Structure 1
Amino acid sequence: MLSNIAAPSQPLSRILAVGTGVPPHSYSQEELLDIFRVDDPRIRSLYLNSAIKRRNLTLPPIGPDGARRLESQGELLRKHVGSGLDMARAAIGECLGKIGATPRDVAYLCCVSSTGFITPGFSAKIIKELGFDTGCSRLDVVGMGCNAGLNALNAVSGWAVANPGKIALMVCVEACSAAYVFDGTMRTSVVNSLFGDGAAAIAVGAGTPLPAESAERAAKAPAVPIVLKFASRIIPEASEAMRYEWDDDHGKFSFFLDPGIPYVVGAHAEETVAALLDGTGLRRSDIAHWIVHSGGKKVIDSVRVNLRLTRHDLRHTTGVLADHGNLSSGSFLFSYQRLSEEGRTAPGDHGVLMTMGPGSTVETALLRW
């Protein structure tokens, strides 16, 4: 079905390419339980029934007793920066390589992270480390959580539309293992059983030609979608359900996730999608591709039930959860990459991107191939 969105007076932004990066070491849930010497049956059940098979992590160093030792907040921040830059370098290289671009071709860089607080932010560090042009405009989105990737993509897409012919790059950098607290409680164990480390980069542009594109390359490249619109819903009554805050008991920052958040998110998914499709002439049944944040088994199931989707619809979402865990703001780009590599999109197809996180917020974007 064709949408009723009027032809714009200026070109819409389009997704040019996506790239991802993870730490070199991957661990199964069973391996992690053994490494951290967890014998509490409740916590073991939490890990083993999470629908997560493996996660890439940068684990704490080994202490004199052979166990992984507790890291100070300073050590965690250094991990956040060091591991984050390594992952970002890999993601950016893969992303730009797909369109034959280099960091110097990027005119706008937006970096997203919620797993550490540093000044200057990742954008300045990446521009320096990777050799971006020093005239590159930049933005750091910090502390918004798992939904932040779509918040930032909205800003990046807007910049691309306002600057046709130039490449804008968004990079989500989430070293979640730099935000772990180990105290044996169920509260921290929920977080420790769920999140993995990863970075994802997405290149966006509007208008043609872009600096690194050529007619030959464009002819060989797979079809890329345009970004039609965004819609979001904030849930004020659940504003404290997901938090990253200072923990006096441990002297470091710590995540908190309310057990009821999957059901809150699921209950508001339908109205957010309805707002996204409003005025387009599209129904939910017209959406061929669904890319949903890999927030956890219960979150995914709640969204699937409330939107009346099939397990096949969310195959990339559950696949990323199984192979990487919850990657925070970059999770949806890992899923989008799998959809892109699957080769099942066709001209005229519509897709929905959905993320959710602290606030509490549900974010969506509508794509058309």
Structure 2
Amino acid sequence: MVRIAAIAPVLPAHRHAQSEITATIAPLLTSDPRRLATIERIHGATGIETRHLALPLDAYAGLTTFAAANDAFVREGTPLAALACRRALAAAGLTADDVDFLLFTSITGIATPSLDALLVEQLGLREDVKRIPVFGLGCVAGAAGIARVRDYLQGHPGDVALLVSVELCSLTLQHGDDSMANIVSSGLFGDGAAAVVMVGADRAGDVRGGVDVVAARSALHPDTSGALGWDIGGSGFRIVLAASLADIVEKHLGRGVVDLLAAHDLKVPDIDTWVAHTGGPKILQAAARALDLPEEAFAASWRSLARVGNLSSSGVLHVLADELAAGGQIPGSAGVLFAIGPGVCTETVLLRWPEES
């Protein structure tokens, strides 16, 4: 069985109250008093208390070009990713030399060489490490990354893999854009990163704790491609965020989860631990309705959303890290991790806490 040996969630140092961020960012979107009031209302309704930003708050007024934003992504994202990797490897009792496979994902910046290539030298990874950089999966990439690394490790049971997510969402801020999508985005997304150490079956017995990755299910939902993503142009990444996204989640998520569980003789009530995508209040509420669960079932995700906002692909990794740190899961009990991304697509991962040896 493939096992998650350790997760290291990391956050940038610049932490601010939601109200402070709104007061600084809103005038960058509009000078219309009525729209400013709308921004304040929508940001306040997210339930987010604090967020972490890659740059000092006063720097965003001068972040007006895609080139400047992307330079900041590489400059700030690389050391954040390296820190996460070092912490995750240390927690797993492994070194950089042990890593055979590296999957890197982000939707908030681009680089060639990609950040995973820069990490090889910074971390001291082997020259023959296998790398896959991923761009475009968006918020679903944390869950999909776990699933795809599992696929790799099933064929390489003696290997060690690193999944690395870096999302500096604040760098995609669009000046002078008071569209509803940009208003919601500017109040919802935070910055963060995470690294996950996963090991194949031959090495799982060497890991104390962690959680096993049993199976995964991918789904791409028809006629939804215009609901979520980027409109990429001269100003960089302009968000596409349809008001119908929560309805899409409510319509499609349940079937995927139920089908995955049924393949393993499980039902929704059998799941003790839920790691839900921190997509925002409407997404979490829609997911609860889709699965006929009380909102309290996603308590860990609600707490993470309030503390750091939506971290895109890093979000579910932060929530899972919180669950592993809290402990208390019954050995042998099952968990489900899921996320939603552009496409619109969903990824569902079935977890199981190891039996005590």
Tell me the TM-score normalised to structure 1 length: 0.89
1:318 and 1:353 map into 2 onto residues whose CA distance is 14
Q: Distance in 1 between matches of 2:132 and 2:340?
A: 21
1:21 corresponds to 2:15: no
Structure 1 contact 20–199 (Cα < 8 Å) conserved? yes
Does residue 1:48 correspond to 2:44, yes or no?
yes
Match of 1:351 in 2: 335
Question: Could you tell me which residue of structure 1 aligns to residue 197 of structure 2?
Answer: 203
Compute the displacement of 1:311 (Å): 2.9
- Partners of 2:334 and 2:297 in 1: CA distance: 13
Q: Give unpaired runs (5+ residues) of structure 1.
A: 1-11
Distance 1:254 1:345 in 2: 41
Where in structure 2 are there 5+ consecutive unaligned residues?
A: 28-32
The percent identity for this pair of structures is 30
1:172 to 159, 165, 169: 165
Count of aligned positions? 345
In the TM superposition, what are the counterparts of 1:123-134 in structure 2 within 5 Å? 123-134=116-127
Distance 1:62 1:271 in 2: 45
**Cα distance, 1:35 vs structure 2:** 2.1
Q: Which residue does 1:245 correspond to in 2? A: 231
What secondary structure sits across from 1:115 in the alignment? coil
Contact 1:92/1:201 (CA < 8 Å) preserved in 2? yes
CA contact (8 A) 1:243 1:256 kept: yes
Structure 2 CA distance for aligned equivalents of residues 124 and 247 of structure 1: 26
TM-superposed deviation, 1:46: 0.8
**TM-align CA RMSD:** 1.8
Cα distance, 1:37 vs structure 2: 5.5
Per the alignment, residue 30 of structure 2 pairs with none
For residue 297 of structure 2, give the secondary structure of its aligned residue in structure 1: coil
Q: Which runs of 4+ in 1 moved over 4 A?
A: 60-63
Instruction: Kindly report which structure 2 residues correspond to 1:288-307, keeping only aligned pairs within 5 A, or say none.
Output: 288-307=272-291
1:188 aligns with: 182
Q: State the secondary structure of the residue aligned to 2:158.
A: coil
Query: CA 1:97 to 1:37, structure 2 compared with 1: closer, same or farther past 3 Å?
Result: same
Corresponding letter in the other structure for 1:173:
V
> What is residue 312 of structure 1 aligned with on the other side?
296
Letter in 2 for 1:246: I
The reply on whether 1:229 has 2:215 as its aligned counterpart is yes
User: 3-state DSSP class of the match of 1:120?
Assistant: coil
Q: How far apart, in 1, do the equivalents of 2:117 and 2:285 lie?
A: 38
Cα shift readout 1:144-187 (whole Å, capped 9, x = no counterpart)? 11011222222211221211222111001111112111225133
How do 1:17-166 and structure 2 match up within 5 A?
A: 17-36=6-25, 38=27, 40-59=36-55, 62=58, 68-166=61-159
Aligned to 1:330, what secondary structure does the other structure show? helix
Q: Is the 8 A contact 1:61 1:69 kept in 2?
A: no
CA distance in 2, matches of 1:257, 1:333: 22
Equivalent residue runs for 1:267-346 within 5 Å: 267-346=251-330
TM-score when scaled to structure 2?
0.92
CA distance in 2, matches of 1:262, 1:182: 26
